[in-house]
Structure 1
Amino acid sequence: MKWMLLISLLISCASEAIIIRHDAADTAYIELAKTDNSTVSFYGVYKGKEFVAGTGSLISNQWIVTAAHVAKDLVIGGKVQFKDDTYHIEKVIRHPLWKDQQFPNDIALVKLSSAVTNATIAKLYDSSNEIGKVVTFVGRGDNGDGVTGVVGADEQLRAANNVVTAADEQWLRFVFDRGTDALPLEGISGPGDSGGPAYLYSDDAVCILGVSSWQNAEATGWEEGKYGVTENYSRISHFKSWIEQTMLQESQPAPEACPNGDAG
C-alpha cells in the first residue's frame, strides 16, 4: 500500500503564480513577466468567486497548449485572459491516452472562439538537447518563496528562470535550487500555474520546451513550493507530432517549429 500512498501524494502536488527565491525581490519577477507576450490564464468559478484555474501558451493565434489535467475542468465558453483582454473557449482536446489522476500524456489543446491578434506565437521545440537550457516559467497562480512555500493567490503575473536538469521520454525536470546553485531569478511553478510554459528565448523566436504538469515534493516532506522540489513538465519535443496531427485534423495549420530546431 506504500506505493499507492506515494502516488496519491505526488498527484496532490500537481503543479498549478510562481514560487520565487526568498532572497530576491518579488518586483524583479513581476518585471520579468512584463516581457511575456505568449501566455494565457484560464479562469473558473468556485462558490461564486472567480479563480485562476490554470495556464497555457499560444501556439497559433487561436490555439493554446496546456496540461490535460487543467483542460479536464475547462468548459466551453470559459474565460481566458491574455494581457488585459478576455477570450472564450470554443473547443478542448485532451491527449487520448491521458487518464485522470495519472501522470502520463498530460497535455491538451484549447481552441479560442476568436483569434488573438497581438500575441507572440510560441513555436514548438523539437530537438532532444534540452538539458542545461535556461528557461522561463510564466504564471499568475499561487505565489510564495522557497523557504515559506506556497502562500496564496494574488493573481499577479510573475516569471522565473530555471534550468533543465533531466529529459526523459515525455518529461523535462527542474529542481528548485537555492543560494549559489540558484539563478538570480530562480523559481518554480505554484498552484494555478499548471499547464504553463517553459519558454526558451532567442533573437527571432519564443520556443516552448515544456508544459507544467506535476511537482515531486518528496525531498521536502511533501511541502510544495519549497527549495529542493522537482518540477515535471510534459516535453513538447515528445508530443510535437500529436499536436501537429491534432491541429491538422481540425483543419488548422500545424504550429511552427523553432528555427533550425533550436533556440538560445
Structure 2
Amino acid sequence: MKWSFLILLVLSFPSSAIIMRHDVDESQYLEFAKDNKSIVTFYGNYRDKEIVEGTGTLIAEDWIITAAHVANYLLIDGKVRFKDSYYKIKKVVKHPDWKDKQFPNDIALVQLQSTIPNSETVALYDKEDELHKTLTFIGRGDFGTGEVGIVGADARLRAAQNVVTETSGQWVRFKFDSEQDSLALEGISGPGDSGGPALLKMNNRLYIVGVSSWQNAEPTEWQEAKYGVIENYSRISYFKKWIEKSME
C-alpha cells in the first residue's frame, strides 16, 4: 500500500489509553496489563495541568524507545513514570530523517538519568515475518471503545491485542475489527499511547515489533478510534540498525 504523506498529514491522527471492544468488560483489559514491567509513561504540562504526553518501552536499563512525534515534546529532566515511581530524562534522540508533523521515520530514543529497579527490558525484533502475528499493545492514555470512540482518561494501564494485517517498508499495520471478527481482547491504541509498543512473546522472551505512530481513519469517515480504523506502527526490524548505533 502506498500513501501520500501530504494527505496523511491532513487526514490521519497521531496514535495516541487503549481503545477496546464495547462488548468485553474493561476489567479484562486492565488485568491483562498489570504484570508488565517494561512500559513507561511520559508526562508534560498543558495549561498548568499535568497530561500524558505518550508511552515508551524499556529496551535497555536506561534506554526507552518511543515515537519521534512524542519525543518532540520531551525535555531534559522531564518526568517519566514507571508503575508508581518517577524518573528523569537525560537525553532525547529523534531519527535524523523525521520531520515535525510528518509520520515517516517516526521513531526516537530516550535515555534516563538513572536505571529503573525491578523493571524488565524487551528485545528488538529483527525478523520480517510479522504478518499475521498476534501482538500486544499497552498504554495509559485516553480510553474508549470501538463503538463510541474515545471516552476519557484515567491514567490506568490497559493492554489489548491485534493481528498484523500488513507490513510495508517501515510500517506494521493492524485493523480494529468489530466483535464478529475480533480477538477476545481486540483493541488499538488511543490518544496518549503514541510511542507505545506492539509486543510479541516468543520462547519466554518479550520482543518489541513496532512503535505506535498514527491511525488512518479513512475507513471510518475520519472518526478516530472506531471499528475499522487502521493502526500504523513504526517497524522495529526496519530501524534496528539505527537504534543500536544510536545507543552506542
Question: How would you bin the TM-score normalised by the shorter chain?
Answer: over 0.9
- Pairing 1:81–2:81 present: yes
Q: Structure 1 residue 180 and structure 2 residue 180: aligned? A: yes
Q: Give CA deviations for 1:155-185 in whole Å, capped at 9, x if unaligned.
A: 1110000001111110000000012210000
Match in the other structure for 2:239: 239
CA distance 1:235–1:49, change in 2 (3 Å):
same
User: Aligned ranges for residues 1-264 of structure 1 at < 5 Å?
Assistant: 6-11=7-12, 13-248=13-248
Provide the aligned C-alpha RMSD in A: 1.2
Contact 2:67 2:212 in 1 (8 A): yes
Q: Distance in 2 between matches of 1:146 and 1:131?
A: 23
Q: 2: distance between equivalents of 1:230 and 1:36?
A: 25
* Structure 1 residue 152, shift from structure 2 partner: 1.7
Task: List gaps (5 residues or longer) in structure 1.
Answer: 249-264
C-alpha separation in 2, matches of 1:78 and 1:4: 30
TM-score (norm 2): 0.96
Amino acid at match of 2:19: I
SS at match of 2:61: coil
Is residue 39–residue 138 contact of structure 1 (8 Å, CA) maintained in 2?
Answer: yes
2:43 and 2:182 map into 1 onto residues whose CA distance is 32
- Extract unaligned runs of 5+ from structure 2: none
Report the 3-state secondary structure (helix = DSSP H, G, I; strand = E; otherwise coil) of the residue aligned with 2:233: strand
Partner Cα distance (1:132, 1:47) in 2: 42
**Percent identity of the aligned residues?**
58
Q: Which amino acid in the other structure matches residue 160 of structure 1?
A: A
TM-superposition CA deviations, 1:29-80 (whole Å, max 9, x none): 0000112111100000111110110000000110000000000000111100
Question: 1 CA distance for matches of 2:149 and 2:192?
Answer: 14
SS at match of 2:239: helix
Residue deviations 1:101-126, cap 9 Å, x none? 11110000000001012111010000
Once residues 207 and 162 of structure 1 are traced to their aligned partners in structure 2, the CA distance between those partners, rounded to angstroms, is: 15
| Displacement of 1:91 | 0.4
The structure with the largest strand share of the pair is 2
Q: How big is the shift at 1:97?
A: 0.3
Distance 1:234 1:103 in 2: 9
Distance 1:4 1:95, change over 3 A: closer
- 1:5 is displaced (CA, Å) by 7.8
How far off is 1:26 after superposition? 0.3
> Which letter does structure 1 place at the counterpart of 2:8?
I
Tell me the CA shift for residue 153 of structure 1. 1.1
TM-score by length of 1: 0.90
